[in-house]
């Protein structure tokens, strides 16, 4: 299994917006890609930074 990481700076009070965008747009798009396994997203307590890890079956899939 391979992972890709994405680090995000968020605008204040946008955690709910991020969650909705992930659920309605990002995750469905990733599920269509070959080799995608799962996505894990972490948000700090202040809600100004987020870190996402996507899991892939092979390095080639993660890089595509």
Query: What is d(CA 22, CA 62) in angstroms, rounded to the nearest whole number?
Result: 18
The CATH code of the domain that includes 6 is 3.30.70.100
**pTM for the model:** 0.81
pLDDT number for residue 17:
94
Domain count, the chain: 1
pLDDT per residue over 3-28, tens digit each?
999 999 999 889 999 999 999 999 99
The edge-to-edge listing of strands for the beta sheet with 2-9 is: 2-9, 49-56, 36-43
Domain assignment of residue 59, given as a range:
2-63
pLDDT number for residue 24:
96
pLDDT number for residue 33:
93
């Amino acid at each position: 299994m391979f992972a890709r990481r994405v680090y995000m700076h968020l605008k204040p009070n946008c955690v709910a917006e991020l969650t909705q965008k992930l659920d309605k747009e990002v995750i469905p798009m990733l599920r269509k890609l070959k080799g995608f396994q799962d996505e894990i997203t972490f948000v700090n307590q202040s809600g100004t930074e987020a870190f996402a890890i996507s899991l892939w079956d092979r390095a080639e899939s993660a890089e595509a």
